[in-house]
Structure 1
Amino acid sequence: MTHLSEDDAGPDEARPAGLLCVPVRSGPVGDMLRLFRTPLGGRTAVGFTNEQRLTAVLGPTQQHVELSASALRGLTAPLGVTELTIDPQLAAAPVAALGDPSAWQGCRASAASRAAHLPTG
């Protein structure tokens, strides 16, 4: 996985070449870029060097468009997103994929029980 930001690129540094497979979602007026979060919570655009890598991380139903890294940066910069992640290896499941919230009751009760035994002060 490669993280690139506007400040990272020097004139002699290697950059990903060619088009990237960029995840999108359907919106009311067409496709919209999907933005993601880094492990530290920052926003990042994501691109994959081939469709197989995109499918391995985001699944076979994930829609995508092909864009150059510079075009992707141009689309996300006005949104304040300056980081670009190439070929991430892991993506968390969407919240909706976690199932029925009523099944989480045991987890909540267990966490509350553990918290009750923590020292205070």
Structure 2
Amino acid sequence: MADILCGDDPEPSERFPAGPLYVPVRPGHRGCAARFFRTPLGDRTAVAFTSEDRLRATLGAGQPWIRLAEPALRALSAPLGVTTLTVDPRFSAPAARAQAPASEGRPAAARVAALWIG
């Protein structure tokens, strides 16, 4: 059986620590909380970047961050059921828009549809 060459494999068969990463956070009352995102299929994932420039290019200059090693980020996210770590994602969806107040006169069915579609 041939050995898998991890250098040629787009997804290496063995995980290895990525080193210190730039992890997006949300400031809170008791410090910072790591931000978790969703994959295109809807699964939760921890997200980290290998440079501050990559984080800013994807999430914007105003995004707060902390430095964490990959094993520390995995240990932080595992109790929450988040087992996937995405490093250096290239795309992100725009921030969610606030829904219009119900008093705008739209029928109830249209308001419910807007929650699912938009």
TM-score under structure 1 length normalisation? 0.68
Identity, in percent, stands at 51
The letter for the 1-side match of 2:51 is: N
The Cα shift of 1:94 comes to 1.3
Deviating runs (4+, > 6 A) in structure 1?
Answer: none
What's the counterpart of residue 33 of structure 1?
34
What's the counterpart of residue 19 of structure 2?
18
Q: How does 1:104-119 map to 2 (within 5 A)?
A: none
Higher helix share: 1
* Larger RCO of the pair (alpha carbons < 8 Å, separation 6+): 1
The Cα shift of 1:15 comes to 3.4
Aligned-CA RMSD value: 2.5
Cα distance between partner residues in 1 of 2:36 and 2:19 = 20
Any gaps of 5 or more consecutive residues in structure 1? 1-7, 109-121
Cα distance between partner residues in 2 of 1:16 and 1:71 = 10
The letter for the 1-side match of 2:81 is: G
What's the counterpart of residue 86 of structure 2?
85
- CA deviation string 1:91-119 (max 9, x = no partner): 111113x7x848xx9xx7xxxxxxxxxxx
What's the counterpart of residue 52 of structure 1?
53
Instruction: Identify the range of structure 1 (15-24 vs 34-43) with the bigger mean alpha-carbon deviation.
Output: 15-24
Any gaps of 5 or more consecutive residues in structure 2? 1-10, 111-118
- CA deviation string 1:10-50 (max 9, x = no partner): 5xx36353210000011111100000000000000000000
- Distance change in 2, residues 1:82/1:14 (3 Å): closer
TM-score under structure 2 length normalisation? 0.70
- CA deviation string 1:34-86 (max 9, x = no partner): 00000000000000000000000000000000011100000000000000000
The letter for the 1-side match of 2:64 is: Q
Cα distance between partner residues in 2 of 1:14 and 1:78 = 20
